[in-house]
Amino acid sequence: MISLPVVLAVAALLFGVGVYGVLGQTNTIMIIMGVELMLGAAMLNVVGFLRYSHPHATSGDFFVLVLMTLMALEGAVGFALVVSVFRSRRTSEADDLTELSG
């Protein structure tokens, strides 16, 4: 079994890469991918703490399944919005999408 500090270190690394993807990029697809990485890191923390605190319990499996579903929904809606904006404006850069009128 992998120890809890190793799981937390990997999750912190994933979260850091996700924060860089959100704050350091201008492409909206990269921003959405950064948010997905941050949600994945949070889910990894949940799994790590549940396995550490209750090694034989399966009570957190449903919670992780809900988190994975939310990640998939967020990605699908985000990419649909990016495709819609790209079709109307021909750009996917976040700096060019400052006004909400179509």
**pTM (predicted TM-score):** 0.84
Q: Tens of pLDDT along the chain (102 residues)?
A: 789 999 999 999 999 999 999 999 888 899 999 999 999 999 999 889 988 888 887 777 888 888 899 899 999 998 998 898 888 888 878 777 777 655
Cβ-contact 35, 12 below 8 angstroms: no
Per-residue pLDDT, 39: 92
- CA 73 – CA 98 distance, rounded (Å): 24
Burial class (CB in 10 A: 0-12, 13-18, 19+), 49: middle
Cβ-contact 46, 64 below 8 angstroms: yes
Per-residue pLDDT, 13: 97
Q: What are phi and psi of 27, to 5 degrees?
A: -80, 130
Amino acid occupying residue 100? L
The residue to which tokens 């991918």 are assigned = 33
Tokens of 100: 């909400």
